Structure 1
Amino acid sequence: MPHASAAPLRSRDAFTIDSEKLLFSLSTYFAAALVLVIAFVASLPRPWWALLTVYVTAQPMAGAFSPRALHRLAGIGIGALVTILIAPNLQNSPMLLVLCLAIWIGLCMYLAVLDRTPRAFLFQMAAFSSAVICFPYLDDPSNIFTTTISRVEEMTVAILCVTITHRVLRPTDIRSVIHERALSFLNDACRWTGEAFGVHHTRLEYEHRRKLAADVTELGMMAVNLRFDRRFAHATRATVTELQHRLAILLSIASAAANRLDQLRSLNAVDRETGELVDSLVNSLHSTQEIGESRDSELVSRCRALAEERLQHRQWTSLLAANLFERTAEFLETLQAARGLVRAFAEGKLDQGLQAEVARSSNNFPLARDHVLALLAGAAMTTAIMIYCAVWILLAWPNGAATAAFAALVTCSFAAQDDPAPAIGRYLIATLMTFPLAALYLFVILPRVDGAAMLILTLAPALIWMGYLQADPARSARALPMLSCFIVAMGFLDRFQADFAGFVNTGLAQVGGIITTLVVTRLFRSANSRWTAYRIVRQNWADLAQLADPAQPLAARAWTAQAVDRLGQIAARMALTNAGDVLHAANGLDDLRIGRNIIRARHGLEDRDADTRMVIEAALREVSALYRARLSAHHPLPGTAVLLASLERAIDVVASQPAKRDDSTVMALVGLRCNLFPQTHQHREAE
């Protein structure tokens, strides 16, 4: 099949209509219309909850609707069950009931932020459904069972309608989305590697790192949906997992090779053969995929031959060149394997070799999880609900029960961010800007509307416009507050009611919930990006200290997956920090390369004699000690003289054994020295 290429970016003016965004908006509008018809026919008590659920659960990627729908339905059921268990038993103790509900919703928020998979929708919906069901009836929970059934019916109808309409009107094949994302990653990686090997080496900017790492992580998120597509074999998800692991190491190998080339250039040690090979590689990476693949095998053979030749010498420049050639060959082989997996995934079949590789690989790509950030999100949610309920109960605020639900909705929307306060502030502004439109509809337009069909037609301009904004990543943050304000202000009962006092009270409830969440968020969650990046870097240091310790078990693939995930998180945050910040010395990419070299060195221990193994283990223990020292000092300390001496001794010992030479072990030790001592170019050779 022909190989797709990344589509060029096209500039759009303000009046250009994107057909995909418009189709998403129309699909969601049809789901909303269907929900209103069902709600009116079935006499559901609060159709506006169902209508709001349509837009809360709608997502631009149609292929992700099946698993998200199941998770959300399960979340609604769990939230309803917890509400029924708690509310009747604590109806005589309102404060205790508030406390228990706040703790439950905070726990759901903690799990949602911690999970970082599509399963997080289950916890979000459990928290949201509990708030929606219970808080409006907090002062009279005697009818909580009937209320629970009604809310579950309304939200279930909404989720089913939005899932069905998007699957029918936007039947996007999730396989094609994954295929395009994988091709985009390979194109970006080839382009950057070609630039990195060029005469003017450009470093991998933080935004590029974030995008490349995010692409690898999102492949696994989207692959969850594959089990819902019964047209293809179940092995496809395992194929994507294996592809994730290949792409994860591709970035570290390319950056390692570029780093060796930089060091050779700084020593003026790039000879004619090296220059010719680098030129051939750059031309191959800048060529089309078909031409590049035809050249790769020949380039790999040249690299292996040159690496073997340079390893015959013990000079530092020869070892650097051998490392460059070895990493270049490894990069090309990994690139070929990744392209093969992408083709096999697109075609839906694997050859015997790929089947064996997929079968041997671990069928998971674990992500890094931040318990502290998740705990802060849960604590902020719990505190916001308790503060609001205290104010609401003391003031006996009419219609104020909706505030707790809005607090839950807002917190769910921005819980994963380091500092959600700015986003919540924009949410508040968008809400305030929508009140005039809601008032126009409620008091001017809707009084002249008769019948459900006319109501649906009248709502079309506003809902389609806001749905179009929701499909635009640059403006989607404004869409949800606009939709929630508009829908809740309308009420959408079976009979039209234009009550100005009720409109004002409902508006105050929405604004009150947002402001309460904003205040509590500033108290609990306003951590700057540097603080969060520093915590992620420290987690990397702790893992590297354990990874380098020969006495600890080795989980290479799990560590690589988490390191790539953290690389994206660090890059997104460090791009916002001061250019002179000391943390730029520990930016995640160096740690990824160091970790991969530690893994190679530890794999090479098994085939070494006792004396050589002892020397290598001594060097690894010094690497582990360096990262433990960084943890203790809270600072990216440079490598010590003892560590440098240990690495150089290990390099000399392994390189001096031609009969038992293990190229990967030599290359790993040279890589560790280059990454831990980038400014120390001279190698003290053993006497």
Structure 2
Amino acid sequence: MTNPSVRDWLFSAKTFLAAMIALYIALAVPLERPSWAMASVYIVSNPFVGATRSKALFRAIGTAMGAAASILIVPPFVESPYLFSVLVALWTGAMVYMSLADRTARSYVFLLAGLTLPLVALPTVTDPTTIFDVAIARTEEILLGIICASVVGSLVLPSRLGPTLIGRTDAWFADAQQFAHEALAARGGAVVQLPRQQRLAATVKALDVLLGQLSYDHASPEVVARAFALRERMQLFLPVLSALTDPMAALRSSAAIAHVPLFEPLMADVCKWIDASLRRVSSTPITDGDTEATHLRARIAALRVAVPRGLAPWDRALLSNTLWRVQLAIDIWEDCLGLRALIDQHHGSWEPRFRHWRVNAEEVFVDHGFMLFSAISTICFIVVACSLWIASGWHDGANAVFIAAVACCFFGGLDEPAPAIFRFFLSCFVAVIASGIYLFVVLPEVHNFETLVLVFAVPFLIIGTLIANPKFNQVAAVISLFTATFMSLAGSYDANFMVFINTSSASLAGLVFAFVWTRVTRPFGAEYFAQRLIRATWADVVRAVSGPPISDERTFFSRMLDRLMQVLPRLATSGPHHHPSVETFRDLRVATNSLDLRHYRDSVVAEMSEQIDRVLTNVRTYYELCVARRRRQPVPRGLIEAIDAALARIAQPGAGGAPPTFSTEIRLRDAVHALVGLRLSLAPLAPGAPAVPAMPGPAPAV
């Protein structure tokens, strides 16, 4: 564990200042439970002002929604306790579902709406006439903490998200640089670098919430738009580099590489350019085009045209496919560098190099089955917990149900929530000990607010530095929350040991029940959900090759790519060639290459379109078999033979059925690229090469 930085101490001091202001106002008004105002400050505070503002706004909206729902539910249904429990559970479960469906910071609205209802409604079941007053009181206390946290965070040395965004992207660039070197140097025996792939995917995924908070940080619309464009290209870079590995390894494993002496020097120069461009990006914005990148693209184009005569047709197609993918990687890398420089320096213009129909899509993949399961699990848990509370007649059972519901809601989106709930329990236990010491040892000696601030300063300042650390954020936030709430501060000291024991033991008992519940009802691990996502990818491949044309292919591809980013962090290391991450990348390429083939088939002669249809039919049959048997099957030889036959027909002279034009050659080249991509994705290690006839003319039409 590293020592807290100056920024961490500054954040902690600001948070403590806001908490003490909220507590002072709550005591002066006075509000019913001033400690809730103090606790709310620690819940919403974030080292960055934009994150604090967005979280504060969404918490305020969610709190208001939950309080309003409690006022509507309690009076008419409190006399029917089991029906009342079901309604509370349904509301909370529905909010959990909606929070999981929204992958932005807005999900906090639904999460807080789901938690506020049991917070307000459950304690009032013994006296429903107080529901309106309790709802107003909890809302006032929470809003007071929110306002204090936002005001102090905005006025006292505000910390902006921009530097953190740059820091996150620089970490991504470092990993992406190494991944690019590995892809450009790929050979047949290359080992999958899963940890690096996982870091790249995790960095991109972590930007979702960060970019959603950027607009609350006084960032200009141009900066926000560039940040989203950068994230999109960062996400695309991983599959583009992965797609380069197979043709690069296949080309180097053949004798053809000896006939292309300019190839290896070109790849070495691409690696040098990546290194050099990354070193200078922080000082020199790449906004008017990188001359070295332009020169590399010219060398790639020249090599594709001047293909040596000694190359076999398949090797020529393979070389063209490899060079095309190298150029895609150069284009995306240059775009990423230019956007990063513009975000950092706030001046200049940017013209995208990577132009493709698959960019500018923001659709994400949501697993509705998993979300529904999480919501139903939460609903059933609350119903069972409430039933046990009602049957036992435990006066403080409402507190147990509420705390347990908090744990289930907060961790319902995890593959394995039980370990997180156990850490939640340990944090709550520490908070019980700390609040007990304060209540019965320290606070009896406190007789004014100034002394109260002094006795709170040391522990809460230390906790604040831990909240600023991502490793300890969750634990520290829970300790601060429960320490403040368990003390139940009021205008005068009236601590009761038995009340404290009942309240704290109810909270701990609720968390124990939540832990046991999730262990029993959710025994799955990350591997189970990874396989579930992979099977969803297979189903999308089937959609890509069959049925009516997909109405919005950009959105379709965006969902598949986002799902891939969710699969990678869940995978464990295994063998190098049939590693799940590699296979999933290849499934994505099969889908995109199949979509491309469906476009090309309508502009070729009937015989060629029949060959393409045969390929697509075989792809559909194979992936339908994988879906039906719920596991990846060996690729049938007939599928590979169908691809080879289509390659042989499309690549032969006069394939277009008419005198070749520039447009025809481009479309035939792209069709061959798609077929080569399909073959390498489905049979990357297949021995031998397909019998592809010579390409037409002096330049290859690939």
Give the match for residue 129 of structure 2: 142
1:545, 1:627 within 8 Å by CA — same for their partners in 2? yes
Task: Return the alpha-carbon distance in structure 2 between the equivalents of residues 202 and 470 of structure 1.
Answer: 41
1:642 corresponds in structure 2 to: 638
* Residue pairs, 1:103-182, within 5 angstroms: 103-169=90-156, 171-182=158-169
| Pairing partner for 2:305 from 293, 304, 308 | 308
CA spacing shift, 1:210–1:124, aligned 2, 3 Å? same
Matched, 1:284 2:288: no
> Does structure 1 residue 213 correspond to structure 2 residue 171?
no
1:30–1:408 distance in 2 versus 1, CA, 3 Å:
farther
The 1:363–1:143 alpha-carbon spacing in structure 2 relative to 1, beyond 3 Å, is farther
Deviation readout 1:422-456 (Å, 9 max, x if unpaired) = 11112222322343332222211111111122212
> May I ask how many residue pairs the two structures share in their alignment?
671
- Kindly report which structure 2 residues correspond to 1:411-490, keeping only aligned pairs within 5 A, or say none: 411-490=408-487
2:85/2:386 contact within 8 Å kept:
yes
**Contact in 2 for aligned 1:419/1:527 (Cα 8 Å):** yes
1:451-530 mapped onto 2 (5 Å cutoff):
451-530=448-527
Shift of 1:81: 1.5
1:535 deviates by 0.3
Q: Where does residue 538 of structure 1 map in the other structure?
A: 535
Among residues 644, 663, 667, which one is paired with 2:673 in the alignment? 667
Work out whether residues 400 and 505 of structure 1, in 8 Å CA contact, stay in contact via their aligned partners in 2: no
What's the CA shift for 1:376?
2.5
Q: Which residue of 2 aligns with 1:333?
A: 331
Deviations 1:478-522 (A, max 9, x none): 223322332232111221123211121111011012112112212
Q: Percent identity?
A: 26
Match of 1:6 in 2: none
Deviation at 1:42, TM superposition (A): 1.4
Measured in 2, the distance between the counterparts of 1:114 and 1:289 equals 36
Is 1:626 aligned to 2:635, yes or no? no
Contact 1:530 1:573 in 2 (8 A): yes
Q: Which amino acid aligns with 2:275?
A: H
The 5 Å alignment of 1:368-447 reads 368-447=365-444
**In the aligned structure 2, how far is the partner of 1:304 from the partner of 1:550?**
37
Deviations 1:274-315 (A, max 9, x none): 221222222222334367944222111111222233498652
Distance, in Å, in 2 between the alignment partners of 1:107 and 1:581 is 42
Structure 1 stretch displaced more, 563-572 or 365-374: 563-572
Instruction: Give the aligned partner of residue 89 of structure 2.
Output: 102
Distance 1:610 1:242 in 2: 40
1:519-598 matched pairs, under 5 angstroms: 519-549=516-546, 551-553=548-550, 555-575=552-572, 584=580, 587-598=583-594
Change (3 A) 1:665 1:23: farther
Partners of 1:186 and 1:606 lie apart in 2 by: 40
Conservation of the 8 A alpha-carbon contact between 2:101 and 2:366: yes
CA distance in 1, matches of 2:577, 2:398: 46
Kept in 2, the 8 Å contact 1:540–1:563? The answer is yes
| Structure 2 SS opposite 1:661 | helix
Mark the CA change 1:219 to 1:469 in structure 2 (over 3 Å): closer, same or farther. Answer: closer
**Does 160-169 or 173-182 show the bigger shift?**
173-182
Q: Is the 8 A contact 2:358 2:554 kept in 1?
A: no
- 378-387 or 540-549: bigger deviation: 378-387
Query: How far has the Cα of 1:254 moved from its partner?
Result: 1.5
Shift of 1:671: 1.1
RMSD: 2.9
Q: Where does residue 183 of structure 2 map in the other structure?
A: 196
Unaligned 5+ segments in structure 2 are 282-289, 655-659, 694-702
Structure 1 residue 126: Cα displacement: 0.1
Cα deviation for residue 205 of structure 1 reads 2.9
Aligned AA (1:208): R
Q: For 1:86-107, what per-residue CA distance to the aligned partner results, in whole angstroms no more than 9, with x for missing partners?
A: 1111122122111101111111
Please report the TM-score for the alignment, with normalisation by the length of structure 1. Answer: 0.90
Matches of 1:585 and 1:254, distance apart in 2:
13
Deviation at 1:268, TM superposition (A): 4.4
Taking the aligned partners of 2:648 and 2:547, their CA distance within structure 1 comes to: 20
Residues 390-399 or 30-39, more deviating: 390-399
How far residue 55 of structure 1 moved from its aligned partner, in angstroms, is: 2.2
Q: 2: CA distance between counterparts of 1:502 and 1:456?
A: 25
Flag the 1:611–1:324 CA change in 2: closer, same or farther, 3 A: same
TM-score calculated relative to the size of structure 2 = 0.88
1:79 to 66, 77, 93: 66
Q: Residue type matched to 2:681 in 1? A: N
Alpha-carbon shift at residue 36 of structure 1 (Å) = 0.3
- Amino acid of the residue matched to residue 213 of structure 2? N
Equivalents in 1 of 2:328, 2:295: separation in Å? 13
Q: Cα distance, 1:83 vs. partner?
A: 1.0
Provide the C-alpha distance between the structure 1 equivalents of 2:368 and 2:266, rounded to a whole number of angstroms: 47
Q: What is the CA-CA distance between 1:640 and the residue it aligns to? A: 1.7
Give the residue type in structure 1 aligned to 2:321: N
In 2 relative to 1, CA 70–497 (structure 1 residues): closer, same or farther, beyond 3 Å?
A: same
Query: 2:286 maps to what in 1?
Result: none
Whether contact under 8 Å (2:12, 2:462) holds in the other structure is yes
> Contact (CA 8 Å) 2:362, 2:555: kept in 1 or not?
yes
**For residue 7 of structure 1, what is the aligned residue in structure 2?**
none
Residue 245 of structure 1: how far off its partner (Å)? 3.2
Asked if structure 1 preserves the Cα contact closer than 8 Å seen for 2:4 and 2:465, the reply is no
Aligned partner (choices 609, 612, 618) of residue 616 of structure 1? 612
